[in-house]
Amino acid sequence: MTKKILIVDDEPNIVISLEFLMKKEGFEIAVASDGEEALAKVASFNPDLILLDVMMPKKSGFEVCEALRADPARAGLLIVMLTAKGRDTEVAKGLAIGADAYVTKPFSTKDLAVKVKSMLGVN
């Protein structure tokens, strides 16, 4: 069964590149452009993994992550935070509130693909 990935970012061009990258790896993709839409898509699309930008309008990635982790039904959902702010405190914060991985922008497409696949147990 194909794994499902939800891409959340407010930058359309980043969404385009991530969507293309992940589709090429054979995942099923849905996108959201802000925090609230992300939570709605999680409910409707039911993804296995979420690529979550931190700096977004309406609800930040941190808030989305916290909300998801507060929901026991979503315990198995993998969360990869994406951020353009590379400060250590942000990384620590992301991991502390329950993100499974933390990737800083700009990222290497190859590395990201490898990381996502291994997290999902796909080779």
Partner 1 sequence: MISGWLVAALSTFYLAVLFAVARFGDARADAGKSIISANVYALSLAVYCTSWTFFGSVGRATSGGLSFLTIYIGPTLMLMCVGVILKMIRISKVYRITSIADFIASRYGKSQLLAGLVTVIAVIGVVPYIALQLKAVAASLNVLFQQSDHALLPWWLDSTLLIAAVLALFTILFGTRHLDATERHEGMVAAVAFESVVKLVAFIAVGLFVTYGMFGGLSDIFQRATESPELARLLQLDSSRAGTWTAMILLSGLAIIFLPRQFQIIVVENVDESHLKRAVWLFPLYLLLINVFVLPLALGGLLHFNGQGFNPDTFVLTLPLARGAESLALLAFIGGLSAATGMVIVETIALSTMVCNDLVMPFLLRSTWLKTEKQQDLSGLLIGIRRVAIVLILLLGYIYFRAAGEAYALVGIGLISFAAVAQFAPAMFGGMYWKQGTRAGAVSGLLAGFGIWLYTLLLPSFAKSGWIGSGFVEQGLFGIGLLKAQALFGLSGLDEISHCLWWSLFANIGCYVAVSLNSKPDAVEASQAERFVDIFRHAGRDADARLWRGNASVEALVGLLERFLGPLRARQQLAIYAQGRGAVDWHSLPADADFVHFAESELAGAIGSASARVMVASVAQEEDLGLDEVLDILDEATQVRAYSKELEVKQQALEVATAELRGANERLRELDSMKDDFISTVTHELRTPLTSIRALSEMLHEDPEMDLSDRKRFLGIIVNEAERLTRLINQILDMAKLESGRAEWTTSEVDVGNLVREAIDSLGQLFREKGVALESEIPATGPIVLADRDRLTQVMINLLSNAVKFVPGGSGRVHVRVGSDQKSVRVVVSDNGPGLTAEECNVIFEKFRQGGNTMTDKPQGTGLGLPISRQIVEFFGGNLWVESQPGAGAAFIFTVPLPAPEA
Residues near partner 1 (CB under 8 A): 10-14, 16-18, 20-21, 24, 33-34, 55, 57, 83-87, 104-110
Comparison of 70 and 84: residue with beta carbon closer to partner 1: 84
Q: Which residues contact 92 (CB under 8 A, 6 or more apart)?
A: none
Comparison of 34 and 100: residue with beta carbon closer to partner 1: 34
Q: Which residues contact 32 (CB under 8 A, 6 or more apart)?
A: 6, 7, 8, 38, 40, 41
DSSP tag of 33: S
For residue 40, the minimal CB distance to partner 1 (Å) is: 13
**Closest to 51 (Cα-Cα) out of 13, 5, 109, 93:** 5
Comparison of 55 and 74: residue with beta carbon closer to partner 1: 55
For residue 51, the minimal CB distance to partner 1 (Å) is: 12
For residue 73, the minimal CB distance to partner 1 (Å) is: 27
